[in-house]
Amino acid sequence: MSKGKLAGIIIACTIAIVVAIVITRPPPTPTPTYTLSVSVSPSGAGSVSPSGGVYDASVQVTLTASPASGYTFDYWSGSASGTIPTVTVTMDSDKSLTANFETAPPDAISCNEAKNHIGERTTVYGPVVDTHYASGSSGEPTFLNMCYPYPNPNRFTVVIWGENRGKFPQPPEDYYDGKTIYVSGLIVPYDGAAEIEVTSPDQINE
């Protein structure tokens, strides 16, 4: 057999093997997808962005709840929990979340709006999302951050100085943590955020 014929046979066999491998190779596994379902309770009390959809596995989706006029955000339920209006979920399965709102008290403002009312004496309502008792700091202040945690500049802070702390039957940082409260007083600016200084438990209602 001539060298040319042998080379041709070798090339033909090589091509046949490559074609066979390509034909028999299994198709790539598609990326799984999961459905995110979002609802609002009660109906019409607010909205959530994004409002749901289908996402690839492992994608992280950040949702933000916004209350309608006359309501305030209360908490998440279902596949997420917490009292902060913004929450992030990882799409490792189908998810179903509900943003729960409650009726806002008349003549009061949401902690989301407090920065727009500096200098006013009014009532501010919203969820306490984090707390801190600075026992080692001058004045021993207790901080109750509403709507957003420290150091988010959109937070609203309730400040209770150490000299007034003993007026509360329980440690404020423990008792009010995670609750929706209504705080009355003068709104003042501090460190880029808004706050009310509380001197008596009578200024805070649940």
pTM of the model: 0.65
Residue type, 95: K
More confident residue, 23 or 133: 133
pLDDT of 95 reads: 96
Query: What is the tally of helices (H) and strands (E) in the chain?
Result: 3, 15
**E strands, 42-85, in order:** 46-49, 52-56, 60-67, 71-78
Give, as one character, the DSSP assignment of residue 29. P
Give residue 104's pLDDT band: very low, low, confident or very high (50, 70, 90): confident
Between the two ends of the chain, the Cα-to-Cα distance in Å is 98
Render pLDDT for 63-85 as a digit per residue (tens, 0 to 9): 999 888 888 888 999 999 988 88
**29: confidence class by pLDDT, cuts 50, 70, 90:** confident
pLDDT in tens, 127-182: 899 999 999 999 999 999 999 999 999 999 999 999 999 999 999 999 999 888 99
- For the chain, the average pLDDT equals 88
